[in-house]
Structure 1
Amino acid sequence: MTAASHLHALQALLFSVLLAPPAASYSYRNCIENPHDATSFNCIQRFQHSVDNLVADLPRGTVSLNVSHNQISALNPGAFSHLPRLASLRLDYNGLEVIQDGAFEGLGLLRSLNLSFNAIRHLCNGTFDGLHNLTELWLTNNRLATVPPGAFSSLAGLERLYLDSNRLEGFSEIVEEISGLGRLRVLDLCINRLKSIEHNLLDTLNSCSGAPAFPNLVNVTYRYNRILTVRDHAFGYAPGLRWLQLNINNIAYLGKHALTNLTQLLELRLDNNLITDLFYSSFQDLESLQTLNLRNNRISVIFNQTFHNLAKLRILDLGGNKITHFAPMAFAGLRNLTNLYLDRNNIKSVFGEVFRLVRQTLKILDLQGNMIRFIKNSTRVSPFVKLTMLQDLKLQGQRPYGITIVPHTFFRGLGSLRSLYLSGNGITVLPEDTFDDLVNLEFLSLDNSGMGINNLRPGIFKSLGKLRNLNLENMGVQSLSREVFRNLTGLQTLVLNRNALPSLDEEVILSLTSLRYLDLRGCPLTCTCHNTWLQNWSSTNQKVQVVYFQNLSCPDRPGYLYNFDTKVCYLDFGMYLFASTCPAVILLTILPMLYVKLYWRFRYSYYIFRSWFNDRWRRADDEDQRYKYDAFISYNSADEGWVLQELLPNLELRGPPSFKLCLHHRDFELGRNIVDNIVDSIYCSRKTLCVVSRQFLLSEWCSLEIQLASYRLFHELRDVLILVFLERIPERELSAYHKMRKVMLKKTYIEWPRDPEGVVLGVFGTSRHFLGVAGAQAPHKKATPRQ
C-alpha cells in the first residue's frame, strides 16, 4: 500500500469516526434486561397501550419476553416480527380483547405463550398460525365461550393447554377440537361451564384396609374437595403410592395411622388444611418420603420425634402455621434435611439447640414473617453457629416491628452462606462487624429497612468481596460513601431505587468495576451539574444497564435526566474561570502601575528598616566614635557648582570653627553599593544638609536621602536635618513632596537670599549655628533668616 493510499484510508477512518452517531445508552425505554441473562427482558407495569412502544428498542436476539400487566387491548399482524428468536412470550394481565390473524407471524421458534387473565372472547382460525414449535399455551381466565374449529390446528407440537376459568360449555366440541393434538399431555378445563361433568365434593376418606389393592397406582389426587377427616388406613388400597395430594381441603383430623404402609411415598401434600396436631406415629411408615408440605395449617407446636423416621426427607415446609416453639428433639431423625421452611409463624426467638440435629445438611432456612426481635445488640451465642452448610437464610419482615437491632456476631459461623434476606425490618442498629463471617455471601437484601445510609458504618461490607447482588431499595439513602462500598469489587447488581439520592457520587460507581445492573428508579436525582457525569456515562457505557434511565424525570425542573441541558454547567465553569482569572488579570495590570508609582516607596521603607537596624547596633558604640563627619551634603549634580564654590569653602575651609563635610563624589567608598554608602554617610554624620532646588526634587536619589534623614528626625527625635533652598519654590509645587512639607512645618529651614552680600552672614552663619548645635530639638515654627 502506498503512502497516498495510507493517507486516504486514515482520512476515511477519521471521517467515519466523526460522523458516527454517539453510542446508544445501555438502557431501554420500557424494558429491563435480566442481569443474569442478556436475552431475557421484563416490560411489566409500563401502562403502555401499544406493543411497539414497549419492545421497539429490544435487540433482535431476545429469547424471553414478559409484557404482562400493561394495557394492550389488541395485537396487530406482525407485532413481534422483529424478534424472530423469541422462545417465551407472556402477555397476561393486559385486558387483551382482539388478536388479529398473523399477530404471531415470524415467531417460528416460540415454545411458550401465556395469554391468561385477559378479556379474549373469540379465537380465529389463523390466530396461532406459524407457531409450529409451541409446546405450552395458557388461555386461563379469559371470556371464551366456544372454541372454533381449526383454532389449534397449527399447533401440532402442543403438549400443555390451559383453558381453565373461562365460559366454555360444550365439552364434546372441545374434545373434538383437540383430537388432532397428538402430543398433548395436559388439558386443564377447570372452572368452566361444562354441563356434562360435575366435580367431586368428598368430605371424608374412610378406611380402606379391606378394599381390593391397586399395586400399580402411584399418583392419587384429592385436591379441591371438602375433606374434613382422613381415617386410619385410608390408602390401604394403594401400597405402592408415590405421590399423594390432599391439599386444598378442610382436613382437621388426620388419623394417627392414616398413612400406614405407604413406604414408597415420595411426596405428601397436606398444605392449605386445618390440621392442628401431629403425632409420633403420623409419618412413621413414610421411610422413603422426600417432600412433606404442611404449609398453611394451624399447627402451633412441634413435639419431640414427630419426624423421627423420615431419614430421607429433604424438604419440610411448615410455613404459614401458628408455631411458637419447638421441642428440643423436634427435628430428630431428619438426617438429610436440606430445606426447612418456617416462614409466617409466631416464632419469637431462635435457639441454636433447635437446629443442632440438622446442622450437617441444612442449606435453606426460611424464617421470614415471624416475630423475632432483640432488645440489645449482643447475644450470648449465635443461633446459627453450627449451621456450617447453610447457604440461604431468610429473615425479612419480622412482625410487628422487625429486627430493629441486629446483635453482634448474630451471623457467626455462617461461612458458607450465599444469600441473606433482611428486608422490611426497620433496622436501626447494624454493628460494623455484622457481616464479618459471611465471606462467601453473594446476595444481600436490606431493602425497605428505612434506616438510612448513615447507619451503615464504614467498612461494614469489608468481608463481602464475593457479593454480587445488593438491594438497598427504600432505605432513606441520601448519599453514597466510598468507605461503605469500596470492598465490593465483585458487585454486579446494585438496587438503589426509591431512595433520597439527589446526586450520585461518580467515584463510588466507577469503583464498582464488576457492576452490570444499576437501578435508580424513584430517586430524586436533580438535573444539575452534579449529575452531568451520570448523563454522559449512562449514554456511552456499554457494560452497565441503568434501568429505565430515559424515564427518570427531573424533580426540580421539567424534562428528563438523560437529556437535560448541560450548557448551564459550562456557564458555571466559565463563571468560575472568569472569577479565577479576573483577579489575576487585574493584579497583573495593577502591579506594573504600583511598581512605577510605589517602587521607590517600597525601597525607602526597606532602606529605612535597614537604617533603623543599623542604628540599633550603632547605639551601643560610643557616641563620639560614631560620627565621622559633621554633615552629609545631599544635593543634585545640577547644583554641584554652588556646593563646591560656595558651601564647601565657607563651611570646611573657613573657621574657626571648621566642619568636615561628606560629599558623595569625594567620600563614598569605591565599589560599594550606593545605597549602603548613603546610609552609612547619613548615620556617620551629625547632620544632613539638603541643598533643595527644583532639580533636587526630581532626583530619586536625593529623595531617598531626605527620606532617610527624615526618619532620624521624626522617629529618633534627633535634630539632624538642615534644609537650604537655593531658589523660591511655591507651596503648590511642594505639595507632592509630603515628607518635605512635613519637615518645613516642624523645622526651621534656610532660603538662599537674593542679596549675594548676605551669603556668609546669612546662610553660612546660620548653617554654622545649626551645625554647631548638637542634639538640639528642632523648633516648631518656621524661620527664614535674611541679611
Structure 2
Amino acid sequence: MSIIGVISLSYAQVNASVNFGIWFFAQVTGYGFRDCIQSFENKYSCNCIYGGLRDIKRVVSDLPKDLKYLNVSYNYITVLNEGSFENLPYLLTLRLHHNGILHIDRGAFDNLTFLEELNLSFNNISSLPKDVFRGLSNLTSLYLNQNFLSSIDPEAFSPLINMQTLNLSSNNLQDFEKIVQCIQPLQKLEVLMICSNQISSLNQSLRLPSTLKYLYLCKNHLTSLDCSEDFFLNVRKLELSYNNIFTSSLQKFNLSKVYNLNLGFNENFDILAFIKNSSVRPNRIDYSGLKLNNSIKLKTLCESVHDLDRLTLLSNEIKFLESQCLTKCRPRKTLDLSRNRLKGVGCLEFLDNATISTLIVEHNLLKLLKNCKQSKLFPNLDTISFRYNRIYLVKANAFQFSPNLKQLKLNINNIVFMEREALSGLRNLKELRLDNNLLTDLYESSFLDLTELQILNLRNNMLSVIFPNAFHSLKNLKILDLGGNKIGKLEADSFFGLHNLTKLYLDRNHIKTITGYIFSHVESTLFVLDLGSNQLRFSTSKQRFSPFRNLSKLYDLKLQGQQPYGLTVIPQGFFNGLRSLRALYLTNNRLTSLSANLFDELSKLKYLSLAENCNGIQDLPPGIFKNINNLTELNLENICLQDIKPEVFSTLPNLKKLQLTKNVLKHINVKVLDNMTNLKYLDLRKCPLTCSCNNAELQRWIRKAQVQVVHPYNLTCPGHQKSYFHNFDTHVCDHEIKLNLFCSTFPSILLFLFIPIVYSKFYWQIKYNYFLFIVWLHERWKSDKELYKYDAFVSYNTCDELWVYKVMLPILEDSSLNLCLHHRDFQLGRDIIDNIVDSIHNSRKTICIVSRSYLQSEWCSLEMQLASYKLFDEMRDVLVLILLEDIPDRELSTYHRMRKVMLKKTYITWPHEPEAQNLFWAKVIEAVTGTRSSVVAEADTWGDEGLLLMK
C-alpha cells in the first residue's frame, strides 16, 4: 500500500473518533435543540409540535434542566417509558395531546414533583396502571379526554393529592362506581368531566369527594340515577345533557346547592314537571334543548321561573315568539335564544322587562330587521348579537327600542342593504360589527348618530368606494376595519371626521395608489395601518415619494403581499416621516432590490420582515440597517440571500431574533454574529451550509455561543443527506494542525511525484555517480593512464560478434592493445550492470561498434550511454565510434541519443574495399592510443579521397 493510502486510512479512523467526540460535545453544551424550539419571549418554554417525533426520551434529552413549559403535541409518540422526563425536574406544564400514545409505563413521570398541568388528551390510552402518575404530588389539572380508556386501577390517581381538575370525557368507561373509587384519594378535586362515555348507571355506595363542585356527565347512557339522594349535595354545576334521564329519577335528589343544572336533550325529560317538584331553584337551570318550542310551554315556564339573571333557551326549536310570552320570566341581564328557528324578533314584543341588558339571538333564521320607531324601549339593553343569521335587510330605526345600546353584532349575515337611518338613535353605541356581509355602499348618513362609536368592523363586504364624509360623524372612532373589500381608490376626504382614529385596516382590497392626502385627516392620531394584499406597485426606485410623511405616530405598518406581482421596487424615501414606526411588514413582495438608505429614518424600528422575496433580493446593500440600531427581530426567510456581510449586519447590536430560513447561504462569517451581542434566536433551517473548513468556526460558534440555533442537529451537509453540519470533522481545519500536516505531507508528496520521473530519466546517471563514489571511497578511480587495466572496452551487438572476433580483435591485439570484451572478460556471477560500469571505468577508451543491430539493442545503448557519462565527466575523448554499416540520417533520427553523440563526435566508417582497410585500422589504433601513425599522416596528404574513411 502506498503511503498516501496509509495516510487516508489513518484520517478515516481519526475522523470517526473525532465525529463521535464532536457529537457528544454538542449534546452537552450546544445551545440548540434537536427537536424543539425555545420560546423567544420565554426561555423556560419549549415547543416541539408537528415534528414527526417518536421517541420522547430523545426529544427531551437535550432540553434545559430549568424548563417549565413543554409542548410535545401533534407527533407520533406511542410509549412513555419509565423516567421519560427525569431530567426536567422543574416542569410546570406538560402537553402530550394528539400523539397516539398507547401505553404509559409506571413511573413515566418520575421526578416531575413541580408539575401542575398534564395534558394526555387525543391519544390511544386504554388503561391506567398503578403508579402511572407516581411522583405528581403537585398536579392540579389532568386531561385524559379523547382516549380509549376502559379500565383504571383503583390506585392510579392516589399520588395526585392536589388534583383539582380531571377530564375523562370521550373514553370507553362504563362503571361509574369504579370511577368514584379511583377519585376517592383526590381530596381537593373540584372539576370532574366524564362526558361521552358508556356510563348507564350511577349506582354505587361511595360518595363523591366533598370538594367536587363541577360534575359533567353529559352524552352518556344514563336513564335512572341509582344513587343516594344526597349524592350531589356539594355539586354546584351539574351537566346531565344528552342522556335518557326520566323526570322522576332526578326529582328525589337534593340539588339545593346546584347553581347551574343542564338537562338538555334528554328525550324523556319533562322540565315543566320537574321544576314543580324539585329542590333546585328554577332560575339555576339551563333550559337549552328541552323542547320548549311554543308560547304555551314558554308561558308555563315563566310562571315558575322569574327574576333570574340569565335565561338560556338554546336549541329548543322555537319558531315564533308571541307577544309578551316571556314577560313573566323577567330575565334581569341576559336572554339567549341562539340555535333555534326564529325568523324574526320584531321589536322584542315578547319581552316586557326593561331591565334586560343582553340579547343573544345567534344561529337562527332571521331575515329582516323591521322599523321599530314606535316600539317599547329597553333602556338597559346594551348588547345585542344577531350573528350567524340570514339577515339581508336592516330597516330604518331597527334598533330604536335600545337607545343605550353599546355593542351591536350583525356580522356573518347576508346584509345587502341598510337603510340610511337603520342605526339612528344609537348615540351610545361603542362597537359595531358588520363584517362578513354583502354591503356595497356606505352613505353620509349611515353612521350619523354613532357619535360615541369606537370600533367599526366592515371587513369582508363588497364595498368598492368610500364616499367623502361617510365617517364624518365618527369623531370618537378608534378602530376602523375595511379589510377584505373591493376598494380600488381612496380620496382625500375618505376619512374626514375621524379625529381619534388609531387603527386603520385596509388589507385585501384593490388599492393601486396611495398618497399623503389620503391620510391627512388621521395623520396626527394613527398608530396602526394595514395595507397588505392590495395592488400597490411602483415603476422605478429612482422616484422620490413618501405617502407616510406626516404619520409621525404610526408604529405598525403592513405592506405585505401586494398583488399580483408584489411591490418589486420601493421609491426613494418611501418611509420618510415614520419616526415612531416599530414594526414593518414587507413579506412576499418579490422585491428586486433595496436601496441602502431605505430605512434611514426608521430609528425606532424593532421588527422588520422581508421574508419570501426570493425571486428578487439576493444581496442586501451595505449600510441598509445602519440607522435602525434598535431592531430586535429581523425576518429574512427565503430572500435568496447568499452571504452575511459585515458591512450589512454589523450595525445591529440589539438584534435578538434573526430568521435566515431557506436562503442560499453556504458560509457565514462568525464575526458578524459576534457583533450581535444580544442575539438569542437564530434560524438557519434549509440553508445549504457547506460542511467544510470555511464553516468550522460557525460549527464551534453554534456549540458555544449563548444563542438558540433552531434545530441545529437537522442541518444536513449539501449532497450528503446522512451527514450533518453539527458533527462534520473540523479537526483538520485547525491552523496549527494544517501547517504541520502540510509540512509533513507536502515533501513526501513531492518525493513520490519526482521519484518515478527521476528513475525513468536519470537512472543510469545516478548509477554512474554512485559507482564513482564507491570507486573514490576505495581509491580505485585515478586518472593516471598506467592504472587502466584495458586500453579499450569494446561495446558491440552479438550480431556483429563474428566481425569483432575474426576481423577486429586479431589486428588490434597484434598491435599490443589490450581489449575488454564482455563475452570474455566479464566476471562470472557478478551483476551485469556492475560488470559494464566496472569495465568502462577500467578502460582508457570505449569502442562502440555501431550497426543497425547495435542501435536496436537496449544493452548496447546502455553501454554507449555510460561511456558518454565518462566522456562528460573527464572532459576528454574516451569514445571511439566505428560505423560498421552505412546508416542514413533518417534512420539515425529515431535513435536520438546516438544521433546526438554522432553529431558532436567524429566517427570512423568501416570500408569494404580491402585497399582502404589498412588506413581504417591505423585510424582506430590512433584513436585508442593517441599516437599518430605514418599511414594516417600519408592519408592526410591525399585530400578528399583520404577523408572518405572518416566523416
2:365 to 201, 225, 229: 201
CA distance in 1, matches of 2:61, 2:587: 35
1:201: Cα distance to partner? 2.2
Tell whether the 8 Å contact from 1:447 to 1:474 is kept in structure 2 after alignment: yes
Structure 2 vs 1, CA of residues 407 and 234 (structure 1 numbering), >3 Å: closer, same or farther? same
1:278: Cα distance to partner? 1.4
Structure 1 counterpart of 2:742, one-letter code = Y
Structure 2 counterpart of 1:97, one-letter code = N
Which residue of structure 1 aligns with residue 632 of structure 2?
A: 468
Structure 2 counterpart of 1:39, one-letter code = Y
2:63 to 48, 58, 65: 58
CA distance in 1, matches of 2:175, 2:460: 37
Structure 2 counterpart of 1:295, one-letter code = R
1:143: Cα distance to partner? 9.1
Which residue of structure 2 aligns with residue 549 of structure 1?
A: 712
- The 5 A counterparts of 1:679-690 are none
Which residue of structure 1 aligns with residue 591 of structure 2?
A: 427
Deviations 1:661-719 (A, max 9, x none): xxxxxxxxxxxxxxxxxxxxxxxxxxxxxxxxxxxxxxxxxxxxxxxxxxxxxxxxxxx
CA distance in 2, matches of 1:133, 1:206: 53
CA distance in 2, matches of 1:123, 1:251: 50
Structure 2 vs 1, CA of residues 34 and 229 (structure 1 numbering), >3 Å: closer, same or farther? same
Deviations 1:226-254 (A, max 9, x none): 22222222222322222222222222222
Deviations 1:721-750 (A, max 9, x none): xxxxxxxxx9999749xxxxxxxxxxxxxx
1:452: Cα distance to partner? 6.3
Which residue of structure 1 aligns with residue 600 of structure 2?
A: 436
In the alignment, does 2:44 pair up with 1:39? Answer: yes
Structure 2 counterpart of 1:554, one-letter code = C
Tell whether the 8 Å contact from 2:97 to 2:123 is kept in structure 1 after alignment: no
In the alignment, does 2:591 pair up with 1:565? Answer: no
- RMSD, aligned CA: 4.6
- The 5 A counterparts of 1:137-216 are 175-176=238-239, 197-198=315-316, 199=339, 200-216=364-380
Deviations 1:18-41 (A, max 9, x none): x99985211112111112211222
Which residue of structure 2 aligns with residue 335 of structure 1?
A: 499
- The 5 A counterparts of 1:287-686 are 287-450=451-614, 454-541=618-705, 543-557=706-720, 558-569=722-733, 574-578=740-744
In the alignment, does 2:427 pair up with 1:280? Answer: no
Tell whether the 8 Å contact from 1:428 to 1:455 is kept in structure 2 after alignment: no
1:147: Cα distance to partner? 13
1:144: Cα distance to partner? 9.8
Per mean C-alpha deviation after superposition, the further-off stretch among 214-223 and 171-180 is: 171-180
Structure 2 counterpart of 1:516, one-letter code = K
Structure 2 counterpart of 1:359, one-letter code = E
Which residue of structure 1 aligns with residue 124 of structure 2?
A: 98
Deviations 1:283-313 (A, max 9, x none): 2222222211111111111111111122221
Structure 1 counterpart of 2:717, one-letter code = C
1:493: Cα distance to partner? 1.0
Tell whether the 8 Å contact from 2:492 to 2:520 is kept in structure 1 after alignment: no
Structure 2 vs 1, CA of residues 576 and 409 (structure 1 numbering), >3 Å: closer, same or farther? farther
CA distance in 1, matches of 2:486, 2:191: 43
Tell whether the 8 Å contact from 1:68 to 1:94 is kept in structure 2 after alignment: yes
| Unaligned runs of at least 5 residues, structure 2 | 1-23, 101-121, 197-216, 224-236, 242-254, 266-287, 292-314, 317-338, 340-363, 752-869, 877-951
In the alignment, does 2:76 pair up with 1:71? Answer: yes
The normalised TM-score by structure 2 is 0.53
CA distance in 2, matches of 1:29, 1:392: 35
SS at match of 1:420: strand
1:88: Cα distance to partner? 5.5
SS at match of 1:532: helix
Structure 2 counterpart of 1:338, one-letter code = T
1:63: Cα distance to partner? 3.7
Structure 2 vs 1, CA of residues 76 and 23 (structure 1 numbering), >3 Å: closer, same or farther? closer
- The 5 A counterparts of 1:717-736 are 735=875
Structure 1 counterpart of 2:716, one-letter code = S
1:270 to 434, 437, 462: 434
Deviations 1:59-104 (A, max 9, x none): 3543443334333567789976875765656556556333565887
Tell whether the 8 Å contact from 2:420 to 2:446 is kept in structure 1 after alignment: yes
Structure 2 counterpart of 1:299, one-letter code = L
CA distance in 1, matches of 2:71, 2:641: 30
SS at match of 1:523: coil
Structure 2 counterpart of 1:337, one-letter code = L
Deviations 1:176-219 (A, max 9, x none): 36999989999999xxx978535222222223333333322222
Structure 2 counterpart of 1:320, one-letter code = G
CA distance in 2, matches of 1:172, 1:346: 57
CA distance in 2, matches of 1:446, 1:186: 52
1:573: Cα distance to partner? 5.0
Structure 2 vs 1, CA of residues 423 and 213 (structure 1 numbering), >3 Å: closer, same or farther? same
Structure 2 vs 1, CA of residues 30 and 294 (structure 1 numbering), >3 Å: closer, same or farther? same
Structure 1 counterpart of 2:609, one-letter code = S
SS at match of 1:353: helix
Structure 2 vs 1, CA of residues 54 and 242 (structure 1 numbering), >3 Å: closer, same or farther? farther
Which residue of structure 1 aligns with residue 35 of structure 2?
A: 30
1:354: Cα distance to partner? 0.7
Which residue of structure 1 aligns with residue 271 of structure 2?
A: none
SS at match of 2:569: coil
Which residue of structure 2 aligns with residue 762 of structure 1?
A: none
Structure 2 vs 1, CA of residues 74 and 45 (structure 1 numbering), >3 Å: closer, same or farther? same
| Unaligned runs of at least 5 residues, structure 1 | 1-18, 586-729, 737-787
SS at match of 1:559: strand
1:320: Cα distance to partner? 1.0
CA distance in 2, matches of 1:83, 1:186: 41
Structure 2 vs 1, CA of residues 489 and 572 (structure 1 numbering), >3 Å: closer, same or farther? same
CA distance in 1, matches of 2:633, 2:421: 47
SS at match of 1:361: coil
Structure 2 vs 1, CA of residues 405 and 274 (structure 1 numbering), >3 Å: closer, same or farther? same
1:357: Cα distance to partner? 0.8
Which residue of structure 1 aligns with residue 794 of structure 2?
A: none
Deviations 1:644-667 (A, max 9, x none): xxxxxxxxxxxxxxxxxxxxxxxx
CA distance in 1, matches of 2:143, 2:442: 40
Structure 2 vs 1, CA of residues 80 and 735 (structure 1 numbering), >3 Å: closer, same or farther? closer
Structure 2 vs 1, CA of residues 340 and 21 (structure 1 numbering), >3 Å: closer, same or farther? closer
Tell whether the 8 Å contact from 1:269 to 1:294 is kept in structure 2 after alignment: yes
